[in-house]
Chains A and B, each alone.
Chain A
Amino acid sequence: MIKLLEHFGKYLLMLKGMFTKPENARVYWKEFIHQCNEIGIGSMGIVVIISLFLGAVTTIQTAYQLISPLVQKYVIAQIIRDSTFLELSPTVVCIVLAGVVGSKIASELGNMRVSEQIDALEIMGINTKTYLILPKILASFIVIPCLITISMFLSIWGGYLAGTLSGIMNDQQFTQGLTKDFVTFNLTFGLIKAFTFAFIISSISAYFGYNVKGGALEIGRASTTSVVVSCILILFADYGLAALLL
């Protein structure tokens, strides 16, 4: 318990330490754009594949369970839409991103720590928390919700393809299901979750990477720990946000 509090205190200090005046705003901006590219473009492939299949599989499994003739076919599209906005895209994709982006951030910072690159920056008079961590968190904060938005669209499209190609429902039924009883807040809720999870993924993995002590083995450990802790916190936050906002 004491260790947990110690980690939490150090995590808060790390976050506080990020907010100092940049030595050169242009260099920081370049780093921010670089991180947006690394996190966004670097994760795009996996997000596309996962989202398409999430939508497709959900369509087929929902159709398999809704066997009652009293239930209209368009309900399947409604279920896909709402489960995509509320849970599948924000939570499942963010858990995958915790693995992809989180481990990358943790191992990159861990390697920089072990090979004394962070010390080299400190010696130059650069605030390493501001230079190395802040751009990663800001980039995640902007890019991950964009990825989730793309994922929502692709998941629904995957559901549409699976539904129409396998003859579960037709074009018209799918469109009817998508538009019927649409609650805008579900989309907002999905995006609130995306912002929250983006912060969790980037800050937790940066914390574990930045504080690595030792060698290659510890970098691997930090990377794994960051993914595990991020996933657990995402699930806690998922429950908390659902209980608070829905």
Chain B
Amino acid sequence: MIEVKNISKSFGTKNVLNDVSCVMESGRINLIIGTSGSGKTVLLKCMVGLMPVDKGEVLYEGADFFQLDENARKELRTQIGMLFQGSALFDSLTVEHNVMFPLDMFTKKTLSEKKKRVNEVLDRVNLKDTNLKYPAELSGGMKKRVALARAIVLNPKYLFCDEPNSGLDPQTSLVIDKLIDEITKEYNITTIMNTHDMNTVMESGDHIVYLHQGMKRWEGNKHDIIYSEDEYLNQFIFASDFLKDAKRMRIMNEATRNTK
């Protein structure tokens, strides 16, 4: 479990996060949603320690990340996997070496053991025969899957995903969502995901935190969000007429079902 306590972060005079608190639950997909510039990525980066906070705490199983000494912090980081928006694969390494990199750095496995593990995780993300390809030779969706394989190769306890669907077509987005969902359940990982994607919100949102102008405005799950009365959240979620209609239809269907 990760607990965010009263986090504030400013850049110059601009307050990007203002007293944000939330609890990211274990073994579930925790979504952070909000409009562009609402502070989602900054919150995620503060949670993994890529950015220092001005105020507040990030507690991993009760231990404040920012109070840990260097060794404890390194140790904790080996339990964190992160899927970046742009995949962040190492250009000069093949797919196999990209995924093998954390194993090379942090384990004493033999080459054959490492190759076995790499093939296992690449299989898990449905990538075969790509071991010798370079990132430049892969499509956006394949890059995301390689990055996901690299993020889970050390069996992390926490998985952070920064807009995993950005730049992907709706079908590939669903594949990535499904993979993250399955991996979260299979390995009992605490997954924290930033997203704009409404499919992700409706399909995977076990726990959702909505940020608005750097503040937490709403918290709930994919079922609650349909019935939310929050004006800003509704504007964000049901931005298009199509989605507004879909919401109306869903509420009506559920009401009919309840009457029967």
Contacts and interface: CB of A to CB of B under 8 A. Distances in A.
A24 B105 contact: yes
Interface in A161-181: none
Interface stretch (B72-80, B185-193, B196-204): B72-80
Contacts, number: 55
Interface of B, secondary structure class, is: mixed
19 contacts: A23-B106, A24-B105, A27-B104, A111-B91, A116-B85, A117-B88, A120-B82, A120-B88, A122-B49, A122-B77, A123-B48, A123-B50, A123-B77, A123-B160, A124-B106, A125-B75, A125-B77, A125-B78, A126-B105
Contacts of B73: 125
A124 B102 contact: yes
A120 B77 contact: no
Interface string A178-218: 00000000000000000000000000000000000000000
A123 B151 CA distance: 10
B27 interface: no
Nearest to A116: B88
Contacts of A20: 70
Interface in B33-82: 45, 48-50, 70, 73-78, 80-82
A115 interface: yes
A183 B49 CA distance: 56
Interface of A: 20, 23-24, 26-27, 111, 115-117, 119-120, 122-126
Interface of B: 45, 48-50, 70, 73-78, 80-82, 84-86, 88-91, 101-102, 104-106, 160
A122 B90 CA distance: 13
Contacts of B104: 24, 26-27
A119 B90 contact: no
Contacts of B89: 117
B65 to A, nearest CB: 12
A117 B88 CA distance: 5
B100 to A, nearest CB: 11
B151 to A, nearest CB: 9
A188 B174 CA distance: 65
